[in-house]
Structure 1
Amino acid sequence: VGAAGAAVGPLIGGALLEHFWWGSVFLINVPIMAVVIPVVFVLLPRVEHTTPGKWAVGQALVLIAGIIGVVYGIKASIGATQSLLFAMLVMAAGLALLVLFARQQLRSATPMLD
């Protein structure tokens, strides 16, 4: 499927760009999904969760802050928008938050990530 998409995708994209506006390349998935979504509802079994877990807002915020810190640290160190020391400190803080999140998830009875 991946090889067929890589071979046919540029051809279809080029034809759409030649005859329609540039946003039409994003609409190619609409007819495909119009077929796939009803089929999925028919074929896949319905799964009901019997033990709903609570959503830990604090852990989610730690994860978000960690990801933002790492991404900002990488972008700031490459783009030279901040000093390299500041960028590395932000990235280290982000990594520390991600480690904290991973430790919390490993000890949690109902982790957000399995």
Structure 2
Amino acid sequence: MAGIIFFKKNNNSFISLKEALKIGIGISVIGGLIAILWKILLIKVIDPEIIQELEKIQIKQYVEESSDFTDENMNSIIKTIKKFTSPPIMILFALIEDLFLGFLISLIGGLIIQKKKDPFQ
């Protein structure tokens, strides 16, 4: 939002919704890439066991919440958990989330602060 306001101030107090969306999504992509680099650093260097810890916590929650599952059901749940806690999937979902939130914030902010130039001046 700050980038959109900064652009508006430097553009003689004019900004269109299209410009606000471009700026907001661009900022969210850059922020998302920085977050992805951080996650890669965290997963590969700082705490390589974090994925296994997350998997164990999720599996433990499922076991506690649902004692009536069969072994077959639990095996499929464990496979699903392992699939969604793989680093590429986590990174993909983080990027999609950043883009969606960036679009939403840019859309709302752009609708609020948009001010178009008068075509007759």
Structure 1 length as normaliser, TM-score? Answer: 0.31
Q: Which has the higher contact order (CA 8 A, sep 6+)?
A: 2
TM-score by length of 2: 0.29
More helix by share: 2
